[in-house]
Structure 1
Amino acid sequence: MLSNGRKYIIPCQSRFSRQSINEIAKEEYKRISNTIKKSLDSNRMSITDERAKQAFPELEKMIHDLYSKPLPPKLNRRARREYKKIKRLQKLLHRRPDVIIRRVDKGEGFYFGNKSMLENKTEEYMNKTEAYEELTNGRCPLADILHTTEAVLDYLLKKKAITKDQRDKLLPNLNTLELAHLYTLPKVHKPQLSIRPIISALHAPVTFLSKYLNDLLAPIYLQEARDITFINSIDATRKLEKYAEDGYLKPTTKFMTGDVENLYSMIPREGGINALIRFLEKHSKYQRIGPFTIDMILKMARLILDTNYFAYENKYYHQKRGGAMGSAFTQVYANIYMLEWEQKLIQHQSSKNEIYGRYIDDIFMTVNEPYDDILFELEKLQNEDLNIKINSTVNDTVNFLDITISNTNGQLKTFIYHKPSADPYYLPYTSDHPHRIHRNIPYTALIRAARLCTNLHDFHLERLRIEVSLLLNNYPPKFILNQFLRFFQVHKADTLITRFDTKVYDELHHTLLYQPSQRELELKQTKTDPVLFPPALQPKTWNPRMMYLRHRFETGPISTFSQALKRWWKKHYQYPGSAANHLQLRLIPKTNRKLQNFLIRKKPSRKILTTLAPIE
């Protein structure tokens, strides 16, 4: 069961719920009918006429019948078998409090280990970074954080920087309000086991404000630093190929990769704020970004940084350096701090027509000078700011992000890098996901391979790896073949199935590599000045003629709901002259609980997280 990975979904979960089938069906009908009625009403269609009185009882009966219909015997046996395995695992974990289960860092698998060992690793990390301090009074800081958040938002409202509606949206939901909590992800891909600390603040008081401030500043940062920012491996590959095409890649060219040690927790409090002030002064217009003065932005930033409190092992802590890994604002805050530090390195590389690029805490450079010279430049910068420590390597073949980059006698080669600890894993075919999810996995895997592999030989090796991995994850051979054929036919590269045609592959690689992603298309469409007209403040367009309908998906009779609803909609509302003919129905399947939701327990008790007791 565990080999299925953390995102695996066992089938037919409604059949094993504590709720009765009738209760589940009623809730599903209520949610779906409310969405439909709201959409009809907003398009000036009656929800109480004779048509509606006939249609909605029929919809309720249809949903009830789908949920009540017996499962096919084979599916029923499989669902019961998998559910029993889950219950046995849960009982085992309950009997063994010394055993901890976590999802692994940068992977889809599980980590089973000794709880004390992981706690010791966390304590070592806290001591090493000196970024955390325990609250010795033992009082939950949640009430104070909430009060401070309300005060800052009230100040912004009073200054007319935000509206009453915006203030309400930035406030936390009091029904789900809780303090952040820390958990760790084991880095099993490292030679020695280490951890990545994550502060989960999904329902914390400043979560919405943190995202808001990130959305305000990130477009400005990206506009300034786009040339030295690697968005992903595709972006890195594009810049490398351009570097080679321009004639800068020589047989002696080396590549340097560097890792910024503990990026999010190493930023000094005042140093980080001062870097933010200089960034805002440089990029604001008339000391403003949108409706916010620099002082207002600093009030929001200080609030987010000063309220980095969290619970861990029934104790309360405060992060006094850097930002919380898991907070949206932390990434742009760290990027701004790093951007100031790396300016001399950027200029050094630019003067020599070399690449300098960074993806969060991963640095990449091309080098055509002695290693000692570039090391000297790095050491100079690190001596200027002792908080920043770079672990670097230089070679003619390096691994960066998820690609291997190689220089063979002046010929650039990139292909997909697989960590030694990585399993040949894809979401299992038996996982209870909609069929289109499984159908797209082989297709998107081949697109990724064609984008990142610069030559046909490496592409075919990756294609074979994809095929074997899919077979190991229970994908039928015929299904795999059909999806592979779909890929080659859609991209007009059928000849690659039977011939080793490098010219056809080069065209395929180039076309897919430079095909803009959805994110790039969105950025191109946003042509407004992010300082005068911040995208975060632009109203989201709502199309009343689009009806987004979320519905439960699971294998069995319920999986036919989508087709049944479309028939119901056509029967009752898509008649000649109906206003509903202008409505577009978008069905969004909502899957059941994943394996990780059944097995991983990382949150402290609710009492620890929700006590609204002020700090004395």
Structure 2
Amino acid sequence: MDSRKFCFSLVNFFNTAINLKELSEDLYRFSRRLRLAEFFYDEDDEETDHTAHSQSPPPAFLRKPSSFTPDTGRDLALDTFIKGVSSEIMLERQRNIFSNLRNEEKEALRELRDNDKITIKPADKGGAVVVMETTDYIGECTRQLDNTTYYRILTSDPTNSCNKKIQEAIDKGIEEKEISSEIGKALLVPHPTPGRFYILPKVHKEGNPGRPIIGGNGCPTEIISQFVDYHMKDLVSQLPSYVQDDMDFLRKIHDINKTGPLPPDTLLCTMDVSALYTNIPHEEGTDACRIALEEGRDQGTKPSPSFICTLIQLILTLNFFTFHDNTYLQTHGTAMGTCMAPTYANIFMGAIERRLLGSFPDKPLVWLRYIDDIFLIWTHGRAKLEAFIQHANTFHPTIKFTSNISPIHVPFLDVMVTLLDNYIHTDLYSKPTDTFNYLHWSSCHPQHTRRSIPYSLAFRLVRICSSEAALTRRLNDLKHHLKKRGFPPNKLKLPLTKP
């Protein structure tokens, strides 16, 4: 069997092998939840509520999980129930369990696992699995890391010195009552390690360049990045151009249609920021966040904009990572992979677009943005739109745009936006590289998970497709894709219509 071809069918796939260690841990967590519920059942709710409101608790990600487990013997009925459930489940493993992988498929998996000449990564978009020669993968990573505009190689591991800088900033924050000592202690990563660099191949772009990602789990700035994101993410939804997701975009399109027909000669346009994350200057990005914090929160709110911006600077300037036995520092922009990056980029683009739109005499009728993807409706003619795009590409030294203009239709996110009779119609948009690799029916997932897939995907189509004809086409396409993923015909009954 061709092992490379086989790996494409295993997106999110679970086989039927039972991991006794995981099973035992799951049973322990289950029994502990039950014992905790019983232990705290008679607690005085009024006293608990009073205590909870006397001081705001730290964010959930800063709270260290408790290891307390009530003793057995408190409730004999509960003990009997837990023992019975555990015995039944552990006995289940002794029954015959048939593998959902054939022998040749198991052999293919072993070949893939043991072959160090290939590297397997998910594609940046489209759900594909990319099998690359390892030499090509390393070559693309090295090509990007050799760009001295963004990266610098280090001669030693700076983990300890970076951790010390973070500790000093936290100690100062505690001293100035920006944060409590409890939160300050929780912001430090125990036993930190450098980030890890990898790429996701962009199969939808010529030459298949890689999108650079820096995995930040366990790095010194991991928790302060979560802390910054926690305090800034609500500011993003205050931006006039904010689009949360496909469904939010569709709601906004519906509101536009409710205002009546668009003017004749209306143009649809999308713009995309080229490599946004790596092209945000540190000072400009931090200043944009400071202004957003000052304008979007009540005066005197703690932690202050100054303290949050101090943490932002640490996240940006201490962004070091390893790749192929070398240690690097990212010197420009923010890394995709740190928690605060999308919020930081959104706020920066909010500041840029406010100045950009204010600096051009003609304004778009509609300007909506999802991070680095922009949708606009233009009513001043093509020449002025092209002049506006040219102006946008000279407005900032590092922020550049690609664009797509049409009087008929443009894709935005997963939606094809069409202008017909001066109203906007919507349909599903899929990139040519989309593989529709939905979860395979034979995967050892719970039955309710597999059964819900056709309905949830179909319901998404109901919301995206604005006409019955478009919906019928897309539902037929969906059935075809799900059949290829092993779904039985009786699981593909989709009696959905437009409301």
Question: Counterparts in 2 of 1:11-160, with a 5 A limit?
Answer: 11-14=16-19, 21=20, 26-44=24-42, 52=75, 55-56=78-79, 59-60=82-83, 62-69=85-92, 73=96, 75-76=97-98, 78-79=99-100, 81=102, 85-86=105-106, 88-94=108-114, 96-127=115-146, 130-135=149-154, 137=155, 139-160=156-177
Equivalent residue number for residue 221 of structure 2 = 206
Structure 1: which amino acid aligns with 2:397?
Answer: L
| 1:403 alignment partner, one of 400, 409, 415 | 415
Instruction: Using the TM superposition, give the Cα deviation of residue 245 of structure 1 relative to its aligned residue in structure 2, in angstroms.
Output: 3.0
Kindly indicate whether the alpha-carbon contact (under 8 Å) linking 1:101 and 1:112 is maintained by their aligned counterparts in 2.
yes
Kindly indicate whether the alpha-carbon contact (under 8 Å) linking 2:261 and 2:422 is maintained by their aligned counterparts in 1.
no
Kindly indicate whether the alpha-carbon contact (under 8 Å) linking 2:320 and 2:329 is maintained by their aligned counterparts in 1.
yes
Distance 2:396 2:404 in 1: 20
Instruction: Using the TM superposition, give the Cα deviation of residue 392 of structure 1 relative to its aligned residue in structure 2, in angstroms.
Output: 0.8
Structure 2: which amino acid aligns with 1:419?
Answer: K
Kindly indicate whether the alpha-carbon contact (under 8 Å) linking 1:251 and 1:411 is maintained by their aligned counterparts in 2.
no
| 1:301 alignment partner, one of 312, 317, 324 | 312
Q: Does 1:252 align with 2:250?
A: no
| 1:161 alignment partner, one of 166, 178, 182 | 178
Question: Counterparts in 2 of 1:401-440, with a 5 A limit?
Answer: 401-440=413-452
Distance 2:321 2:303 in 1: 29
| 1:356 alignment partner, one of 367, 378, 388 | 367
Instruction: Using the TM superposition, give the Cα deviation of residue 43 of structure 1 relative to its aligned residue in structure 2, in angstroms.
Output: 2.2
Q: Does 1:277 align with 2:290?
A: yes
CA distance 1:127–1:398, change in 2 (3 Å): farther
Q: SS of the residue aligned with 2:237?
A: helix
Equivalent residue number for residue 334 of structure 2 = 323
Equivalent residue number for residue 393 of structure 1 = 404
| 1:183 alignment partner, one of 198, 206, 220 | 198
Distance 1:350 1:358 in 2: 20
CA distance 1:210–1:399, change in 2 (3 Å): same
Kindly indicate whether the alpha-carbon contact (under 8 Å) linking 2:120 and 2:132 is maintained by their aligned counterparts in 1.
yes
Instruction: Using the TM superposition, give the Cα deviation of residue 54 of structure 1 relative to its aligned residue in structure 2, in angstroms.
Output: 6.6
Kindly indicate whether the alpha-carbon contact (under 8 Å) linking 1:357 and 1:365 is maintained by their aligned counterparts in 2.
yes
Kindly indicate whether the alpha-carbon contact (under 8 Å) linking 1:181 and 1:199 is maintained by their aligned counterparts in 2.
yes
Higher percent of residues as helix? 1
CA distance 1:346–1:122, change in 2 (3 Å): same
CA distance 1:248–1:119, change in 2 (3 Å): farther
TM-score (norm 1): 0.70
Structure 2: which amino acid aligns with 1:270?
Answer: E
| 2:251 alignment partner, one of 217, 230, 238 | 238
CA distance 1:362–1:127, change in 2 (3 Å): farther
Kindly indicate whether the alpha-carbon contact (under 8 Å) linking 2:226 and 2:340 is maintained by their aligned counterparts in 1.
yes
Structure 2: which amino acid aligns with 1:218?
Answer: K
Instruction: Using the TM superposition, give the Cα deviation of residue 182 of structure 1 relative to its aligned residue in structure 2, in angstroms.
Output: 0.9
Instruction: Using the TM superposition, give the Cα deviation of residue 409 of structure 1 relative to its aligned residue in structure 2, in angstroms.
Output: 4.0
Identity %: 23
Structure 2: which amino acid aligns with 1:435?
Answer: Q
Structure 2: which amino acid aligns with 1:311?
Answer: T
Kindly indicate whether the alpha-carbon contact (under 8 Å) linking 1:251 and 1:408 is maintained by their aligned counterparts in 2.
no
Distance 1:54 1:466 in 2: 48
Q: Deviations over 1:282-314 (max 9, x none)?
A: 44554x4x2123321221111111111111111
Q: SS of the residue aligned with 2:35?
A: helix
Q: Does 1:4 align with 2:2?
A: no
Distance 1:68 1:345 in 2: 66
Instruction: Using the TM superposition, give the Cα deviation of residue 6 of structure 1 relative to its aligned residue in structure 2, in angstroms.
Output: 2.5
CA distance 1:161–1:129, change in 2 (3 Å): same
Distance 1:71 1:259 in 2: 56
Note the residue ranges of structure 1 that are not aligned, 5 or more in a row: 15-20, 489-495, 497-504, 509-616
Instruction: Using the TM superposition, give the Cα deviation of residue 449 of structure 1 relative to its aligned residue in structure 2, in angstroms.
Output: 0.7
Distance 1:357 1:245 in 2: 17
Q: SS of the residue aligned with 1:107?
A: coil
TM-score (norm 2): 0.86
After the TM superposition, which of the residue ranges 27-36 and 52-61 deviates more from structure 2? 52-61
Equivalent residue number for residue 51 of structure 2 = none
Note the residue ranges of structure 2 that are not aligned, 5 or more in a row: 1-5, 44-68
Kindly indicate whether the alpha-carbon contact (under 8 Å) linking 1:349 and 1:355 is maintained by their aligned counterparts in 2.
no
Distance 2:397 2:359 in 1: 20
CA distance 1:313–1:418, change in 2 (3 Å): same
Kindly indicate whether the alpha-carbon contact (under 8 Å) linking 1:129 and 1:266 is maintained by their aligned counterparts in 2.
no
Equivalent residue number for residue 57 of structure 2 = none
Q: SS of the residue aligned with 2:8?
A: helix
CA RMSD of superposed structures (Å)? 2.7
> How many residues matched?
468
Question: Counterparts in 2 of 1:183-582, with a 5 A limit?
Answer: 183-223=198-238, 225=239, 227-283=240-296, 285-286=298-299, 288=300, 290-347=301-358, 354-395=365-406, 396-481=408-493, 484-485=494-495, 488=496, 496=497, 505=498, 508=499
| Greater length-normalized contact order (CA 8 Å, ≥ 6 residues apart) | 1
Kindly indicate whether the alpha-carbon contact (under 8 Å) linking 1:33 and 1:56 is maintained by their aligned counterparts in 2.
no
Distance 1:283 1:58 in 2: 52
Equivalent residue number for residue 520 of structure 1 = none
Distance 1:435 1:350 in 2: 58
